[in-house]
Structure 1
Amino acid sequence: MDDPFAQGTAYGLKAKLEAGGVRTVVDEVYPPNTTDFNSIAAKIASSRADMVVGGTQYQDAVNLIVALQQLNYQPKLAAFSTAPTNPEFSKAIGAKTEGILAPTGYTEKATYPSNVEFVQAYTAQFGNPPGEDEANAYTTGQVVAAAVEAVGCAEQGDCQQKLVDWLRGNTVETVVGPLSWDAQGRPQGAHMIQQYVNGEIQIVLPGDTKEADIVYPKPSW
């Protein structure tokens, strides 16, 4: 999709794949209001690509997958940004989700010490475990608190630069795992990879947090 988030995800992965020797055979960008994916699906199917990677939101991924299903195209691997995390995704594509991958920044099952406490407290208060948005908000609080405690101030002015300098030189343990930052302030923590395994979303990468082994090749659509 012609969208900063979707393209950032797709082209970031594209660069890493190509650096690893994976050849790009089809590269399509479409407007956010696209609903007809027949022509794009036809290009993908005719290329006989081994994998399909979608920088997608939700409905565009569903429409693309349905169009590919109609052409009987079967990749060995399929990955989409955000769409597979939607509760309606499985039903929308005919419950043929097995093996589909997606990135995620959080799982309530992660065993990071602060996350165990966070999930227990959140579930006790709201009756259900936290999601990625709630975890990201809590992580922000953890990061700020760690910096303020280490530097010993929180005022406007010189203190702000001290907080920045501390964060760029240290790692903070959070509910989404250990986070550090580069010289430009960009977070260096790695996302996890989740996949539909036996009909359920499971963490398959990285190895220290995985709940199941990665499925490859992807079962038939």
Structure 2
Amino acid sequence: MRKSLMAALLVASAVLPAAGLAQANTLTIGFTSSETGKLNADATPQLRGFEMWRDQVNANGGIKAGGTDYKVKLKYYDDQSKAGRVQQLYSRLILQDNADFLFSPYSSGLTSTAAVVSEQFGKIMLTTGAAEGKTYKLGNKYLFQMYTPAAQYLKSALEVVKANNPKAKIALVYSNDGFSQGAAAGAADAAKSMGLNIVLNQSYSPDTTDFGPIINKIVSSGANVLIGGGHYADGSTLARQLYDKKSNLEFISLLVAPDIPKFASLGEAAEGVTVPSQWEPSVAYKPDFGPTASQFTTMFQNKYHTKPGYHAAGGYAAGLVLQHAIEQAGSIKTAAVAKTLNAMDATTFYGHIRFATKADEHGLQIGHDMVLAQWQQGSDGKLESKVVWPKSASNAAIVYPLKKSH
């Protein structure tokens, strides 16, 4: 498949203008975004992060490299949440739109498809919203991952269980997409090493809307803890149905969905649910460059009238890291920028950033740490997302066990 793709792309490149050179002091950054389809709720905040970064860079005169100021142009298409569109669109971004650099789509599955194209053409792609680790084990040279890898996602939730009830019975229930499977596999390994007991290991289709049969399995297993999930559509539905069916779980930690601000609209079904988070507004990292977390949060709220979650932060941080690498390299040439990214060991508002440079894991994120957030009632009675783990980063005590309505 890779050979046939390469052949098709080489034919296309022979009849199209040479790509990759900035034109009229403009840097074009290409990507796709799920403006429609099941990944829209997750992809929209990431897109907003990209756009806010672009607007700020351009308002400040552009990216400065080699004595030239480059304004940023974002060129993107709707991938409709479908991998089948991503290959075609990333080829178009490179061959027709002359993208100088690339951002990834949202989700590990779409990103792995985009990576085939970006690597064929030797294009730097910063991947955000894409935590699955295996894409970085294939000898790729130009991918740079912003997210902590999927295998580590649920480790913090298991640490909470270990600290509060080491004899808990855990149901590991997750979407059978690549990212969620990777997170679940990592969780299973971590649970075993911690001496925790997984009594149910169950996957489900990402399109599941009726979790009744799975909830029955959870209850029958005797589980009092649930970890897993997938993305927003399935995760929010699972949380609501767990509450409606009075599953009475002591602790729930779901991937992705609870970090989307509209998860709070579930009301009591959202209360107490935790999420492994790449970033939260309350973190207090001291950045080597760019805004603080507080400044980023204020800017984002002023622009979009909602609090940013880690999807938005990851999008903005990807732009910030690319900008810093270009400016440090003093060049927009791929080799120079890649060299700077390979050497990067820095802290931003989003946290520590460092990329693996070994050939068998190149571009894997090895510097960034995650936190665990929980939806709790604020003083005004409204739900707020609070950092509860690790304790060194927390701004609230964890609620464990949950109220019996769960």
Partner of 2:238: 64
- Matched position secondary structure for 1:61: helix
Structure 2 alignment gaps of length 5 or more: 1-174, 378-382
Q: Give 1:166 deviation, angstroms.
A: 1.2
Equivalent-residue separation in structure 2 for 1:42 and 1:215 (angstroms) = 25
Instruction: State how far apart, in whole Å, the 2-side matches of 1:66 and 1:134 are.
Output: 24
Give the 3 Å change call, closer, same or farther, for CA 195–131 of structure 1 in structure 2.
Answer: closer
Name the CA shift for 1:147/1:69 in 2 (closer, same or farther; >3 Å).
closer
1:145 and 2:319 aligned: no
SS at match of 2:365: coil
Tell me the residue number matched to 1:101: 274
**Which stretch shows the higher mean deviation, 62-71 or 24-33?**
62-71
Cα separation, partners in 2 of 1:145 and 1:33, compared to 1, 3 Å: closer
Pick closer, same or farther for the CA change 1:132–1:165 going to 2, 3 Å: closer
Q: What's the CA shift string for 1:104-150, capped at 9, x where partnerless?
A: 22222333343233334444555555443332222123322333444
Q: Is the 8 A contact 1:203 1:209 kept in 2?
A: yes
SS where residue 35 of structure 1 aligns? Answer: coil
* Alpha-carbon separation, structure 2, partners of 1:203 and 1:166: 31
**CA separation in 2, counterparts of 1:69 and 1:130?**
26
1:190 aligns with 2:369: yes
The match for 1:42 is 216
Q: Which of the numbers 384, 388, 399 marks the counterpart of 1:204?
A: 388
1:218 to 2:405 alignment: no
Deviates more, 1:193-202 or 1:141-150: 141-150
Give the corresponding residue for 1:12.
186
Q: Give 1:52 shift.
A: 0.6
Unpaired segments of 5 or more residues in structure 1? none
Once the two structures are TM-superposed, the CA of residue 53 in structure 1 deviates from its matched residue by: 1.0
Task: Give 2:202's aligned residue.
Answer: 28
Question: Structure 1 residues 88 and 123 mapped into 2: Cα distance closer, same or farther (>3 Å)?
Answer: closer
Letter in 1 for 2:343: W
Contact (CA 8 Å) 1:42, 1:71: kept in 2 or not?
A: no
Asked whether the equivalents of residues 197 and 212 of structure 1 are also in contact (C-alpha less than 8 Å), the reply is no
Asked if 2 retains the 8 angstrom alpha-carbon contact of 1:147 and 1:166, the reply is no
TM-score, normalised to structure 1's length?
A: 0.82
Partner of 1:112: 285
CA contact (8 A) 2:240 2:269 kept: no
| Counterpart residue number, 1:172 | 346
Q: Supply the RMSD in Å over aligned alpha carbons.
A: 2.6
* Alignment-mate amino acid for residue 182 of structure 1: A
CA contact (8 A) 1:62 1:89 kept: yes
- Cα offset, 1:81, TM superposition: 0.9
Q: Separation in 2 of the partners of 1:119 and 1:126?
A: 10
Question: Does the C-alpha gap of structure 1 residues 135 and 74 become closer, same or farther in structure 2, counting only changes over 3 Å?
Answer: same
Query: Hey, what's the Cα distance between the residues in 2 that align with 1:50 and 1:141?
Result: 41
| Mapped contact 2:347–2:353 kept (Cα < 8 A) | yes
- Using structure 2 for the length normalisation, give the TM-score: 0.48
Name the aligned partner's letter for residue 107 of structure 1. Answer: E
> 1:53-92 to 2 correspondence within 5 Å?
53-69=227-243, 71-92=245-266
- Residues 2/155 of structure 1: CA separation in 2 closer, same or farther (3 Å cut): same
Deviation, 1:202, is: 0.6
TM-superposed CA distance for 1:89, in Å, is 3.3
Q: How many residues align?
A: 216
8 Å contact kept, 1:154–1:160: yes
Structure 1 residues 87 and 162, CA gap change in structure 2 (3 angstroms): closer
Tell which structure's C-alpha radius of gyration is larger. Answer: 2
**Equivalent position SS for 1:26:** strand
Paired residues of 2:272 and 2:374 also in contact (CA < 8 A):
yes
2:312 aligns with 134
Gap change, CA 1:121 and 1:59, over 3 Å in 2? closer
Q: Which residue is 2:80 aligned to? A: none
SS of aligned partner of 2:204:
coil
